[in-house]
Structure 1
Amino acid sequence: MEHLRSPKLALAALLVLFLALGNVALMKVGADEKICNMTEQQLEACKPSVSGSDPTPPTTECCNGLKEADLTCLCSYKNSGFLPALGIDPDLAMQLPAKCGITAPTDC
């Protein structure tokens, strides 16, 4: 266990554990379950707007889901490694509320 005393290695191990647990949590989300008050279907509808080098404008389904979402909860993910690990660009994700005509929380 001597190698885990390195702060960088310990942080890397913690990040890998966090990502693994996060992916398991996402796999368990069903159509009726929600993350930050958005269903898996609504989150998937938004993904083309927040990923890739040529994102598409948000769909009506995405914006309707975002209107119901707990934006403060969603904001809590913006600085984590969780979004990039899922192929989501955090900068594009931060622009999504404005593209849907929604005011984001000021502390986001």
Structure 2
Amino acid sequence: MGKNNTIIIALAMVLITAMMMEEAKSYPICNTDTNDLQNCYPAVTGDSPPGPDCCAAAKSADLECLCPYLTQSGLDPSKVKSVLASCDVDNPSGLPW
């Protein structure tokens, strides 16, 4: 897979994990707060554009670290890729997809 797909899958798994957890609780994964990542859920599951909170979370996320958590996500990779592009998130180097 290309490195863009790896980023997409990584972010998607973190988002799925965040959705399944209670909103009041915050779980750090790869130094990323799962509550912050929930701000991207509407953008990666629907037709909503990413808001400033989503973009802030995407920019601060350690996508290389999150990659293993996201490889089994059910999110649409094209939507996650679109969110990252809309937020001007650079693709980390060295990712397997």
* Alignment TM-score, normalising by the size of structure 2: 0.60
* 1:74 has 2:66 as partner: yes
**Structure 2 counterpart of 1:62:** 54
* 1:104 has 2:96 as partner: no
**CA 1:51–1:76 in structure 2 vs 1: closer, same or farther (change >3 Å)?**
same
Cα distance per residue 1:60-89 (max 9 Å; x no partner): 111111111101123334542xx21xxx22
| Greater RCO, CA 8 A, separation 6+ | 2
Give how far 1:100 is off.
Answer: 0.4
**Structure 2 counterpart of 1:50:** 44
Give how far 1:27 is off.
Answer: 3.0
Q: 1:27 aligns with which of 21, 41, 53?
A: 21
* 1:38 has 2:9 as partner: no
**What is the count of residue pairs matched by the alignment?**
77
Structure 2 unmatched runs, 5+? 1-15
Seq. identity, %: 34
Bigger drift between 35-44 and 63-72 goes to 35-44
**Structure 1 counterpart of 2:12:** none
What is the CA RMSD across the aligned residues, in angstroms? 2.6
* Alignment TM-score, normalising by the size of structure 1: 0.55
Task: Give the AA of the match of 1:70.
Answer: D
Q: Is the 8 A contact 1:78 1:90 kept in 2?
A: no
